[in-house]
Chains A and B, each alone.
Chain A
Amino acid sequence: MMRKISDGKIGVREFAAIVLFATGLKATDTTPDLFIFKGENAAWIVAFLSTLVCAVPLAITIRLVSKRKQELTDVIYTLTGKWFGTLIMAMLAFFVIFGNFINSRSYVDIINTMYYDNTPIPALFLLLMAATVFVAKRGLETIGRSAWLIIWPVLFSQVLLTWFVWDEVRWGALAPIAGAGVKDLISGGLNYYSVFTEPIVLAIFYCNVRNNRSFTRGSWIGLGVSAAWIIFYFALYVAIFDYPAVRQLNYPYHQLARMAQAGTITHLESLFLGFWVIGTVIHFAIYLYFSAYFFAKLFRLTEFEPLILPLAGFILLAGLKPDNIITLNAFRDTFLRSGSVMFFALPVLLWALDFWKGRVKES
């Protein structure tokens, strides 16, 4: 018998782990490339600024949902009304699903290029989506628990990797400290902060988290640890590969894993691949789960778990469409820029509406 989805509630640990896997794993995909293109050797400062920028809409969102005791989509509907709400939801659902397929294709490309070059991309994609559906189908509680279960091994593997490449680190490569220039760093921080917006999106699970405190703390801890992970790795990539050489790397994390050396033992990348793939599956299970949730909310469907499988099929087909990853990266750039505008405007708009409605009520 299948378990009812979102039956039990999750605690702060599970929620923080979910936020972390949804956001922090981006340190290891093609996200660094975007930041390095923008901020040059100061990519880590761009990431830092992005985190700061992202904290504003996140704080507003957390305040809103905990004040109204409603999850994000309900807040949107009640505050903006049926028609406008549907419009906003359509945009969000499009954004989430689009992001899902771009990212999953880029992860498949990583596995294909760096590890399984003879294996056809459709086969790898199918396997990834199958594993993802397998986890997502079991509901938020299972996702949360498995995320919490493997968060320590994954973080430990990151520490281990850092240790194994430590000999090659030259922090001097981080100078000149401002990289591309202060103006570019700030514009990068404003344009690309949508990399960190998952905690905002995950406010849709407000009602599935045990209590208000768990939700707030989970969001902030998740964002904080993810940001630390991303910022540190961006700095590490530059310190090891040096700028401008780091600019030419598609997948710096995986190049790093290849350089890892424990004493005289080399070729350790398969060890890190193992942890990374498990993390990837959790990452996309979360994505798939909330994509289905958004979709169901958009069309006012009461059940959303039957949507998971068809949605995975859609992502698979859409993801196979682009020729190669470079076209995708160009997409992703525009996508993140527009996302940055949207995820700032939306919470501010909701907050203003909330404020206004409150005043109307009072008077």
Chain B
Amino acid sequence: MARFLLLACLFLFLLPGCWNKIELEEQAHVIVIGLDLSSKDHLVDVTFQIANPQVATTQRGEVQNEPPTDIITLTAPDITMAKDMATDIVPRRLNFSHLQVVIASEALAKTEMFHRIIAAATGDPEMRRETQLIITKEKASEFIHTNKPKLETRPHKYYSFMQGRWKESGKAPFSTLNRYYERMRGETFMAIYATTKRDAEFKENEDDYIAGQVPQKSGDPVQVLGTALMIKGKLVGILTGEETRLALLLRNKQWADSMIFSVDDPLHKNYRIGLRLLKFEATKVNVDVKQNPPKVHVTVPLKAQVISIPSLTDYVLNLENQTILKRSINEILSKRAEELIRRCQRELKAEPFIWNHAVRAKFWTWNQYDQYDWENKFLDAEVKVSFDVEVESFGKQYAPLNFEYAEKDE
């Protein structure tokens, strides 16, 4: 027993971490950092959203008058300096180790200041590579102030839940700082696009929106949908939710677990068919670099589950219709994907599909690959996309309930 106590005492000296000792209570965990252009040159407005750790613990009762988070904005040369400036205001020591998202405004992302700030921050050991990167339509500080989700009091929970949804639906990309650093050679980086501004539009295709356009009545203020494309740290354009999904599907590896998609009903053009698309296999990308312009052939193997047929046509038991449906899904997806690629080549001049990995495999050395200059070659490439969809299941009914059937049966 005495030995055990001695050992326990020893740990008291071993575990505090020398000079790095810090009491839990003395820390202020920054969950969100917002970055905005400042009115002054070479400075940025840095917004910190600091979590109140006492909220949502057993101490909740003691702090009923405290808000769940504190938000401050400082004008500073970079994030680290802003962190230091915050010590003049926040009584606790600011800590980035639980930082979940870095939010930058579209205006900042269009300037090279964005990359300078992000790159400078990587030196800070507290910055972690799995931090998410979000580009907002409005000012980041405005976004942070407006983002008060009703069901999630604590901001870190909000972002970690949302991250799960994005991964699942594929309507927003998986954008971490690590991914951003990977695309340093002029490759296209896909950042999450979000806004609290509303600019509602009605579209037939339910995922052909970007954030802010989704017609919504009441509910949380933030919409996260679509992609901000960035090349060499600069914003070049926005993809809609559907384009984001297609771009993810065209990548060799993708993140979306299952995405709900809708296509035109091939027999009743006024209606759409709801599908759940599952991607179990990798997309095959074949780039013929010997030809100029290069020829790219992409095959996307998918499994589809039909989840809704509002036209009430029998696509299930009628095998002829099944074939029509399958062919039509393939055609529609290929057509939309090719449209997206054309948009990327002509309008955005960006290649977000990471086909450069397939191109890299065609070369022996980095030198040869660098000289080939894929990012430019892509702009004129002849791309052919073929989707290979297998309709896997039709839900739990043989056919949609239909009044015609009811009449026939009688």
Interface residues, chain A, with chain B CB atoms under 8 Å away: 40-41, 113-120, 123-124, 127, 168, 170, 172-173, 175-182, 240-245, 248, 255, 258-259, 261, 264, 266-267
Count B-side interface residues using an 8 Å CB cutoff.
Answer: 31
- A240 / chain B contacts, CB cutoff of 8 Å: 178
Q: How far is the CB of B29 from chain A (nearest CB, A)?
A: 12
- A127 / chain B contacts, CB cutoff of 8 Å: 18
| Selected A-B contacts with CB under 8 Å, 5 pairs | A119-B20, A170-B357, A241-B181, A248-B181, A258-B128
Q: Cβ of B360 and Cβ of A172 under 8 Å apart?
A: yes
Report if B160 contacts A (CB, 8 A). Answer: yes
0/1 interface trace, chain B 329-372, chain A, CB 8 Å (1 if under)? 00000000000000000000000001001101111111111000
Give Cα A266 to B131, complex, Å. 11
Give Cα A115 to B126, complex, Å. 9
Q: Give which listed residue, B130, B362, B366, contacts A180 with CB less than 8 A.
A: B366
- A41 / chain B contacts, CB cutoff of 8 Å: 366
Closest to B129 in A: A259
Give Cα A255 to B369, complex, Å. 27
Give Cα A241 to B97, complex, Å. 20
Q: Cβ of B363 and Cβ of A172 under 8 Å apart?
A: no
Give Cα A181 to B368, complex, Å. 9
The 10 closest A-B pairs by CB, nearest first: A172-B357, A175-B361, A175-B360, A119-B19, A242-B182, A176-B363, A119-B18, A181-B365, A178-B364, A118-B19
Q: Cβ of A176 and Cβ of B184 under 8 Å apart?
A: no
- B97 / chain A contacts, CB cutoff of 8 Å: 267
Interface of B is mostly: loop
Closest to B182 in A: A242
Q: Cβ of B365 and Cβ of A176 under 8 Å apart?
A: yes
Report if B17 contacts A (CB, 8 A). Answer: yes
Closest to B126 in A: A117
Q: Cβ of A181 and Cβ of B357 under 8 Å apart?
A: no
Give Cα A176 to B365, complex, Å. 5
- B185 / chain A contacts, CB cutoff of 8 Å: 244
Give Cα A124 to B20, complex, Å. 12
- A261 / chain B contacts, CB cutoff of 8 Å: 130
Q: Cβ of B181 and Cβ of A116 under 8 Å apart?
A: no
Q: Cβ of A259 and Cβ of B366 under 8 Å apart?
A: no
- A255 / chain B contacts, CB cutoff of 8 Å: 129
Give Cα A245 to B239, complex, Å. 26
- A124 / chain B contacts, CB cutoff of 8 Å: 18
Give Cα A57 to B59, complex, Å. 66
Q: Cβ of B20 and Cβ of A118 under 8 Å apart?
A: yes
Within 8 A of A (CB), among B111-128: 125, 128
Closest to B363 in A: A176
Give Cα A264 to B10, complex, Å. 33
Report if B169 contacts A (CB, 8 A). Answer: no
Not counting A176-B369, A244-B184, a sample of 10 additional A-B residue pairs whose C-beta atoms are within 8 angstroms of each other reads A40-B366, A115-B20, A168-B178, A170-B253, A176-B364, A180-B365, A180-B367, A241-B181, A243-B366, A248-B181
Q: Cβ of A117 and Cβ of B160 under 8 Å apart?
A: no
Q: Cβ of A241 and Cβ of B252 under 8 Å apart?
A: no
Closest to B355 in A: A172
Within 8 A of A (CB), among B196-210: none
Q: Cβ of B365 and Cβ of A117 under 8 Å apart?
A: no
Q: Give which listed residue, B98, B125, B361, B366, contacts A117 with CB less than 8 A.
A: B125
Give Cα A172 to B252, complex, Å. 9
- B17 / chain A contacts, CB cutoff of 8 Å: 116, 119
Give Cα A259 to B18, complex, Å. 25
Give Cα A240 to B179, complex, Å. 9
Q: Cβ of B182 and Cβ of A245 under 8 Å apart?
A: yes
- B367 / chain A contacts, CB cutoff of 8 Å: 180-181
Q: Cβ of A176 and Cβ of B130 under 8 Å apart?
A: no
Within 8 A of A (CB), among B12-68: 17-20
Q: Cβ of B182 and Cβ of A241 under 8 Å apart?
A: yes
Give Cα A114 to B185, complex, Å. 27
- B364 / chain A contacts, CB cutoff of 8 Å: 176-178, 181-182
Closest to A264 in B: B160
- B178 / chain A contacts, CB cutoff of 8 Å: 168, 240-241, 259
Give Cα A173 to B18, complex, Å. 40
Closest to B361 in A: A175
- A119 / chain B contacts, CB cutoff of 8 Å: 17-20
Of B130, B160, B357, B366, which is in contact with the most chain A CB atoms at under 10 Å from its CB?
B366
Closest to B366 in A: A40
- B125 / chain A contacts, CB cutoff of 8 Å: 113-114, 117
Within 8 A of A (CB), among B271-301: none
0/1 interface trace, chain B 183-219, chain A, CB 8 Å (1 if under)? 0110000000000000000000000000000000000
Q: How far is the CB of A349 from chain B (nearest CB, A)?
A: 36
Closest to A256 in B: B129
Q: Cβ of B365 and Cβ of A258 under 8 Å apart?
A: no
Give Cα A312 to B37, complex, Å. 53
Q: Give which listed residue, B18, B20, B354, B360, contacts A176 with CB less than 8 A.
A: B360
- A245 / chain B contacts, CB cutoff of 8 Å: 181-182, 184
- B366 / chain A contacts, CB cutoff of 8 Å: 40-41, 176, 179-181, 243
Q: Cβ of A266 and Cβ of B130 under 8 Å apart?
A: yes
Give Cα A273 to B95, complex, Å. 20
Q: How far is the CB of B95 from chain A (nearest CB, A)?
A: 12
- A180 / chain B contacts, CB cutoff of 8 Å: 365-367
Give Cα A175 to B252, complex, Å. 14
Give Cα A173 to B360, complex, Å. 8
Q: How far is the CB of A181 from chain B (nearest CB, A)?
A: 4
A172-B252, A175-B360 known; A120 vs B19 contact (CB < 8 Å): yes
- A117 / chain B contacts, CB cutoff of 8 Å: 20, 125
Closest to A173 in B: B357
Q: How far is the CB of B158 from chain A (nearest CB, A)?
A: 14
Give Cα A258 to B19, complex, Å. 21
Q: Cβ of B184 and Cβ of A172 under 8 Å apart?
A: no
Give Cα A118 to B19, complex, Å. 6
A244-B184, A258-B128 known; A179 vs B253 contact (CB < 8 Å): no
- A170 / chain B contacts, CB cutoff of 8 Å: 253, 357
Q: Cβ of B357 and Cβ of A116 under 8 Å apart?
A: no
Give Cα A168 to B125, complex, Å. 20
Give Cα A240 to B181, complex, Å. 11
Closest to A242 in B: B182
Closest to B160 in A: A264
Q: Give which listed residue, B160, B181, B361, B369, contacts A172 with CB less than 8 A.
A: B361
Q: How far is the CB of A166 from chain B (nearest CB, A)?
A: 12
Q: Cβ of B19 and Cβ of A123 under 8 Å apart?
A: yes
0/1 interface trace, chain B 125-147, chain A, CB 8 Å (1 if under)? 10011100000000000000000
- A267 / chain B contacts, CB cutoff of 8 Å: 97-98
- B369 / chain A contacts, CB cutoff of 8 Å: 176
- A258 / chain B contacts, CB cutoff of 8 Å: 128-130
